[in-house]
Amino acid sequence: MKDGVFYGKGVNKVKREYPEIYEALVKLDEAVFTGKVLEYRTQKLVALGITAARSDETATKRQMISGMNEFNITKDEIVDVLRVVLLTAGMPAFNKGMRILDEIEKN
């Protein structure tokens, strides 16, 4: 989450119907993304690698777009992350990440 924006589809429902759970999510997010040692930009690249390794197309695309928009993360930096995904998660996750990056570049 950045600036109070969660990307999960169910979060709006949680916010409306279960505000105590939503507040817990906000606090967890604040505790995780502290920037104490790793700056938020680096944490964004880590998050991108995790979502790409899981082959989560929606989350990977959102991480790429938000990283490019918020931190000017470059195509080359994303490809470096995807290289690590290739090593750790294999060719299918790598190919999916590359395809998503290509789609973003074409738009």
Across-strand partners of 78? none
Written as six digits, the tokens of 15 are 């916010």
Which CATH code fits 40-106? 1.20.1290.10
Domain boundaries, the chain: 7-33, 40-106
pLDDT in tens, 52-104: 999 999 999 999 999 999 999 999 999 999 999 999 999 999 999 999 999 99
Note the pLDDT tens digit of each residue in 44-66. Answer: 999 999 999 999 999 999 999 99
CA distances, 22 to each of 12, 43, 94 (Å): 9, 22, 33
**Is the pLDDT at 1 greater than 80, yes or no?**
no
> What is the model's pLDDT at position 48?
97
